[in-house]
Amino acid sequence: MRREMRRREAQSCCPDLAVLGVDPSRDARLFEPVAAAVEELVVGVEVVRPGVVAVPAAGAVSYFGSEHELVERMVDHVSGRTELECQVGIADGLFTAVLAARRGVVVEPGTAARFLDPLPIIELASAMPMEDNGELVDLLRRLGLRTLGQFAELSERTVSSRFGRVGMIAHRLAHGLSERPIDRRPPPEELAVVETFDPPLDRVDAAAFVAKTLAKKLHAELGQRDLACTRLSIYAVTETGEELARTWRCAEPVNEGGIADRVRWQFNSWLRAAPADGLASGPNSGVVKLRLRPEELVDASKLQLGLWRSGGGDDEADERAGRALVRVQGMLGQTAVSTPVLVGGRGPGERVRLVPWGDPRDDVDERPWPGKLPAPSPATVFTEQVEITVVDSRGRPIAVTERSQLTRPPRRIEMTGRSARQVIGWAGPWPVDERWWDPRGDGVRARVQVVVDQGDALLLQFRAHTQPRWIIEGEYT
């Protein structure tokens, strides 16, 4: 399995796969112990994204004696601390290093281009800026450029005139150069924003709020100078004088929301890191001082701004509602408050994904989905499975065949502990054509709509696995 794989594809090569939604905040939280473990060994750790850290190797290599020694120590140390396996690679430039890490190799200085030469062009996709949406890699592939080497052979001028800025970045990467020309001028110290807290900050929801205001301040500060940030350091001082620091490296200049997200993720992981883990990362008291310092700056023209907000909401109402929802999250926990996003799916429950408040929402997926039931949808979708028995006119249980036919027309529904209901009308079955290949799935499945006496309409689902059974999936009133 690889990143960027389609869900269906991934499930077909690994049917036991559990599919989880995208949640960078959770990822950051889980990844923090790894970053902390690496930091114990070498200085200058930068989190590229949850899952990848970058460290400058030169100093560490001379300290540990050889590159081989460093890699070995790092793998040992991370697995000792976190019980996770990590892969390490050393190369010139971040992009090459990430690819080297995936293969667990050390690329000698100056040989990056040779290392990259035979690799498939698709490797570029993960390093491209967001604005590109993977279009460039797809285009290059269709143009017949299958390896990074073939792309690197094109002249810089040709690439620039045909593919623009995005193409230039990709071309630099394919050459084994870093995505931005190195500019080692450190940003002036006065650009950092500092906030002190009294009483100390020790709750995640409060931190999320602070993150937003600090991000706004830093963003405004940078905006005035026509700059945008590509690397951000977050420093925190706790009540007991402990100092925490973490640097985030971003693939592209971050805007206000991006800064706030990173501060929130970092806070999340600091506050939730249990002291019992024996990691030096978690503060054992509240945070009294927070400082955001841009580590690397670029021209602000590279920052993409949303020109208009989606939807027709008015800002003040959104702000007010947001505050109320954050307060409720403070009472009940972060995942207790969510907004729904409609996604593709066949059943009424599968067409909804709940996104915890504060996490980014994707757009509504309006592409057609074959096999979904026509509107109206049930107003009640049961979260627990209500098992029932569906029988025909002579009281014999009925089922759905492998050819998606009902064995006999349904006449009565029997529920344990409740009186039986007569079926007045019914429609279906709609076969649920998914995961029938999975031996541990539900086998043949189908949905049937019924109207029972007293006018209630129900959505029933049949599952043929091990013992055939019916459940009530939803109610229409």
Partner 1 sequence: MMSVRSLMVPDDTDSFDDADNTVARLASLPGLNTASGMAVDAAGATAVGKLLPVVPELTDVLPHRGLRRGSTVSVIGSRLLVLSLLSEATARGSWAAVVGMPDLGVVAAAELGVEVSRLALVPAPGAELVPAVAALLDGLDLVVVGRGVNGRTARQLSARARHRGAVLISAGAWPGVDVELRCEGGRWSGLGTSGHGFLSEREVTVHTSGRGSAVRPVTARLLAPGAAGRLARPGETESEPMLEAG
Note the residues at the interface with partner 1 (CB under 8 A). 310-314, 317-318, 320-325, 327-328, 331-332, 336-342, 348, 351-352, 354, 357, 361, 364, 373-383, 406, 409, 424-428, 449, 451, 454-457, 474, 476-477
Q: Rounded to whole angstroms, how far apart are CA atoms 180 and 163?
A: 17
Instruction: Please say which residue, 258 or 348, places its beta carbon nearer to partner 1.
Output: 348
Output Rg (C-alpha) for the chain, integer angstroms. Answer: 28
Q: How far is the CB of 314 from partner 1 (least distance, A)?
A: 5
Q: Is the distance from CB of 347 to CB of 473 less than 8 angstroms?
A: yes
The answer for 427, left when phi > 0, alpha when psi is -120 to 50, beta otherwise, is beta
Q: How far is the CB of 461 from partner 1 (least distance, A)?
A: 14
DSSP 333-344: -GGGSEEEEE--
Element (DSSP H or E) covering residue 448: strand 445-452
3-state helix, strand, coil in the chain (%, to 5): 35, 25, 40
Q: How far is the CB of 441 from partner 1 (least distance, A)?
A: 23
Instruction: Please say which residue, 14 or 324, places its beta carbon nearer to partner 1.
Output: 324
Q: How far is the CB of 367 from partner 1 (least distance, A)?
A: 15
Q: How far is the CB of 430 from partner 1 (least distance, A)?
A: 9
Q: Is the distance from CB of 234 to CB of 266 less than 8 angstroms?
A: yes
Residues forming a β-bridge with 255: none
Q: How far is the CB of 248 from partner 1 (least distance, A)?
A: 28
Q: How far is the CB of 182 from partner 1 (least distance, A)?
A: 42
User: Strand 227-238 to strand 445-452: parallel, antiparallel, or no bridges (unpaired)?
Assistant: unpaired
> Residue 259's closest CA among 301, 227, 225?
227
Q: How far is the CB of 465 from partner 1 (least distance, A)?
A: 23
Instruction: Please say which residue, 192 or 325, places its beta carbon nearer to partner 1.
Output: 325
> What 3-state DSSP class applies to 456?
coil
Instruction: Please say which residue, 307 or 317, places its beta carbon nearer to partner 1.
Output: 317
The values of phi and psi at residue 387, to 5°, are -85, 140
Q: Is the distance from CB of 31 to CB of 281 less than 8 angstroms?
A: no
Q: Is the distance from CB of 254 to CB of 232 less than 8 angstroms?
A: yes
- Cis ω on the peptide bond leading into residue 376 (within 30° of 0)? yes
> Which two structure tokens, joined as six digits, stand for 364?
């509504």
Q: How far is the CB of 175 from partner 1 (least distance, A)?
A: 43
> What 3-state DSSP class applies to 345?
coil
Task: Please name the residues in contact with 48: beta carbons below 8 A apart, sequence gap of 6 or more.
Answer: 54, 94, 98, 249, 251
Residue 320, Cβ neighbours under 10 Å: how many?
A: 11
Instruction: Please say which residue, 162 or 320, places its beta carbon nearer to partner 1.
Output: 320
Residues in the chain: 477
Q: How far is the CB of 445 from partner 1 (least distance, A)?
A: 17
